[in-house]
Amino acid sequence: MGRIALITGIETGIGRASALAFAEAGYDVGGTWLTSEEAAEQVAEAVRGYGSRAALRRLDLSTPTAGAIAIEGLSDELSGVNVLVNNAAIGHSASFIDTELTDWMHVLDVNLTGQFCCAQAAVRRMLALSCPGVIVNVTSVQEYYPMIGSAAYGAAKGGLGQLTRVMAAELGSRGIRVNAVAPGEINTAMNGREGVPGAEVLRPAMPLGRAGSANEVAAAIVWLASDAASYMTGATVIVDGGATLMGPHLAAG
């Protein structure tokens, strides 16, 4: 079995950048998409351009159990899984008191419960194949820092961070490492800036003075999946240009 990375949400942003970065590193890539099959197919063609195999499945995590079906299908098509990147997510902004229960449940279904189902399916497949594996969960700086107007989103990302640590504690002895990447303000479709270089969005109050790019987050994800990070598990790598050093009022993501 070759090296196989499964990534949720590869149409745009961090998912797309991660798919290309894993392909460049010699991985076959399985990816999920939600709204644009055309965009996902373009990513798959780019992956194949590196000489890697690519497979796609549509996945709507508002039905969280669909995640397990998608991961199992991609694993079957590519004959295994070494890495899962839990990237797919939705944003939500509303004050705590104005957050509707339906919105709360939708955000948690997609950003937390769906991630749990995807990870559980990947881990079960890794154990069945008796291969070492890596899970990388994409959380947010809101794993640590509260943001006004982000009750549901922040709760989901905080929960995913804690799930990362519980999984790491349980699975390390079975040869599976679990870590997270917590992006800050990144130029992606969720922020309305897909494809914009980080240097074009200036943030003078931040130590690095700018927003980040999806490629910079993808680099951290691929590194966590590599042997260079072989002694890391249960950790969250913050990729935010130093924003959280300056206080939660600068955190985003």
Residues classed as catalytic: 153
Q: Tokens 């959280």 map to which residue?
A: 244
Which residue stretches of the chain are H helix? Answer: 13-24, 37-49, 66-78, 101-108, 114-129, 151-171, 214-225
Q: Is 182 within 8 Å of 238 (Cβ atoms)?
A: yes
Four-residue CA torsion sign, 41, 19, 65, 89: negative
Let me know if 239 is exposed, middle or buried by CB neighbors in 10 A (0-12, 13-18, 19+). Answer: buried
Nearest Cα neighbor of 126 from 167, 162, 87 is 167
Q: For 172-195, give one letter per residue: b (16+ CB within 10 A) or e.
A: eeeebbbbbbbbbbbbbbebebee
The angle at the Cα of 66, spanning 64 to 69, to the nearest 5 degrees, equals 140
Cβ of 169: how many Cβ atoms within 10 Å? 12
Strands 83-86 and 54-58: unpaired
Q: Cβ neighbours of residue 113 under 8 Å, at least 6 residues apart?
A: 64
Closest-CA residue to 253 (of 167, 180, 163, 164): 180
